Chain A
Amino acid sequence: DAGITQSPRYKITETGRQVTLMCHQTWSHSYMFWYRQDLGHGLRLIYYSAAADITDKGEVPDGYVVSRSKTENFPLTLESATRSQTSVYFCASKGDFYGYTFGSGTRLTVV
């Protein structure tokens, strides 16, 4: 099906572990984004990408790494997970006429 697929939907990991959240789009949208959602903060931008091999920091990038070797994939890696990174993570892409599509989110718990 066309759209954005995020995996996993739920993830529990231990403090200090590396974890990667996956995001795949079936279109060829240039712009992709990673947001985290926390109660009382709304959605905050972690990283974004304007095209393959072009990424840049958003509002809250510390502790995260992204890559984009292919247009359709935009994985987010937590290099050493901390409890403060417990959150819901959303991947999104920008289509034509400022239509944004969001994935269904990954709920990450760091214990």
Chain B
Amino acid sequence: AQTVTQSQPEMSVQEAETVTLSCTYDTSESDYYLFWYKQPPSRQMILVIRQEAYKQQNATENRFSVNFQKAAKSFSLKISDSQLGDAAMYFCAYLTPYSGGSNYKLTFGKGTLLTVNP
């Protein structure tokens, strides 16, 4: 079974600074998707960014980018120019993208709580 590990239960960053959240995963598959979700205090799950394993280029969405190291099974999230609104719980998630055995089930890490200090 696939597992997702987020080794940092909590992180903090100063406003306007850069922070990196870590995520590692374990899989025997070669084709998969990885996601970062943000959960603010409202509880809503918001997709931040996603990466297809077959793509060598790291995904980027505005101030959010990932460092995808397929061989190391590492998928870290970098938030640049941190803003107060970035404060949230962040979840890393894994998906095997075919309906055979996985049935499109997302597997989540335990989360990292990010605090942004003014």
Contacts and interface: CB of A to CB of B under 8 A. Distances in A.
A78 interface: no
* Secondary structure call for the A interface: strand
A41 B45 CA distance: 16
A42 B4 CA distance: 10
Contacts of A44: 108
Interface in B69-94: 91
B33, B99, B104, B109 interface centre (most CB from chain A within 10 Å) = B104
B54 to A, nearest CB: 13
B16 interface: no
A40 B103 contact: no
Contact of B91 (A43, A45, A94): A43
A31 B107 CA distance: 15
B95 A102 contact: no
Given A42-B109, A43-B91, A100 B33 contact: no
B105 A90 contact: no
Ranked nearest first, the 6 interchain pairs of A and B with the lowest CB-CB distance are A102-B45, A42-B110, A43-B108, A42-B108, A105-B43, A94-B104
